[in-house]
Amino acid sequence: MQAPKRRTSRSKRNMRRSHDALRPVNPIACPNCGEPAMPHRICGHCGTYRGRELATAKE
């Protein structure tokens, strides 16, 4: 196997890493209780998802 012929510049290294950044969370308001909840997941406050109660609500 060959070794790299040239050192990777800071610019090329950083361009390669440009997609590695974490995206911020984007909670939405639960339509049932209004608390912030992650999209496509059960609401942690009331336990509903898409109008159905799937889990018991936390006290």
Q: Which residue type occupies 56?
A: T
Using a cut of 0.75, tell me whether the model's pTM lies above it: no
pLDDT digits (tens, 9 = 90+) for 30-43: 999 999 999 999 99
φ, ψ at 57 (rounded to 5°): -75, 145
pLDDT digits (tens, 9 = 90+) for 8-32: 999 999 999 999 999 898 999 999 9
